[in-house]
Amino acid sequence: MFASYFISPKSWQALGVKEFEAHLMRVFRAHPPNFACLRQAGSAPFSPDVCAVFVRLCVAFKVVALINCKTPSASLESALEFGFSGVHLKSHVLDFAPKIPKHLQIFYSAHSIDEVQEALDCSVHFCTLSPIFATPNKPPPLGLDYFNALSPALKARVFALGGITTPRHIELVKNLHLKGFASIRYFLNP
């Protein structure tokens, strides 16, 4: 199954609980993902109410709820406290993966084939590999050929991320036979 993974945008951190809930419901109704990540992009952590709303809506829409806080320990604490299904680790904290309980899923942000392999060797379940396409304020894209060169075993555990904003991009990624795609901007389009 080709899976989709929604990552919350930085702009959502400034929203109140009701507005956050309305935005998330809009995304889940327009483009229902298989996975969703509450990503802390600013310095302030999410309120307990926002975490609870995120998990509640993920459960209601049958979406796997992940969290990615500024620190891996904060991600783990929030996952355990609020009932997230897993954590998404930033690329510089792979050494934290063994500390995550086995019942939680672990996602990891990778930027090369070597990083993907290293993460999978550390019991990470899935990796986002980025960027596949050009995206603002990110390094040059890896491109379709880079992803196509992945072994079938790696493809089964990789979500392409970066610059995926249209159905055409999704078709191109789907043809690579990856686990799926991850995006912020695609899901925000009605």
DSSP 8-state code for residue 155: H
90 domain-assigned = yes
21 domain-assigned = yes
The answer, yes or no, to whether residue 94 has pLDDT greater than 90, is: yes
190 domain-assigned = no
- DSSP-derived pairing of the beta strands 105-110 and 64-68: unpaired
Q: For residues 113 and 143, is the Cβ–Cβ distance under 8 A?
A: no
Q: 177 versus 91: which is more confidently predicted?
A: 177
102 domain-assigned = yes
What residues have CB less than 8 Å from 170, skipping those under 6 apart? Answer: 164, 181, 186
CATH of the domain at 104: 3.20.20.70
Q: What is the pLDDT of residue 190?
A: 78
Q: What is the pLDDT of residue 78?
A: 98
Q: For residues 139 and 120, is the Cβ–Cβ distance under 8 A?
A: no
- For tokens 């050929």, name the residue: 145
Mean residue pLDDT of the chain comes to 97
Q: What is the pLDDT of residue 177?
A: 98
pLDDT band at 137 (very low <50, low <70, confident <90, very high): confident
152 domain-assigned = yes
Task: Domain of residue 63: give its range.
Answer: 3-185
Tokens of 113: 């084939």
Q: Is 67 exposed, middle or buried (0-12, 13-18, 19+ CB in 10 A)?
A: buried
pTM exceeding 0.85: yes
Q: What is the pLDDT of residue 95?
A: 96
pLDDT band at 42 (very low <50, low <70, confident <90, very high): confident
In this structure, the chain runs to a length of: 190
44 domain-assigned = yes
- Count structural domains, the chain: 1
68 domain-assigned = yes
71 domain-assigned = yes
